[in-house]
Amino acid sequence: MVWNWRLEITSRPTRNLPHVLSLAGLIVSGLVVILFLADLVAAFPFQRVSIAADIGFIVAGAILAYLSWSIGSRSRA
């Protein structure tokens, strides 16, 4: 018995890929900002272990949201 393993490459264009990845970045950044903002305000998920880390992750999430939004708006054009 001979196994025939072939790698099939589709010719379908991946025009949606930048838009999908930017949308995923927006979703992840939103979750990060909400999670660490809740920790900063209510000490809910992590019992406010480090205020500096909370602020740092909120800023990083905001930067990721901005970058995802700018790439997403360019990929639609």
Confidence of residue 5 (pLDDT cuts 50, 70, 90): low
Q: Helix (H, G, I), strand (E, B), or coil: what is residue 6?
A: coil
Number of H-type helices and E-type strands within the chain: 2, 0
How many residues make up the chain in this entry? 77
More confident residue, 76 or 34: 34
Q: What pTM did the predictor assign? A: 0.76
Q: How far is CA 5 from CA 1, 8, 11, 12, 47, in A?
A: 13, 9, 19, 21, 52
Contact present, 25 and 68 (Cβ < 8 Å): yes
Each residue's pLDDT tens digit, 14-56: 667 888 899 999 999 999 999 999 999 999 888 999 999 999 9
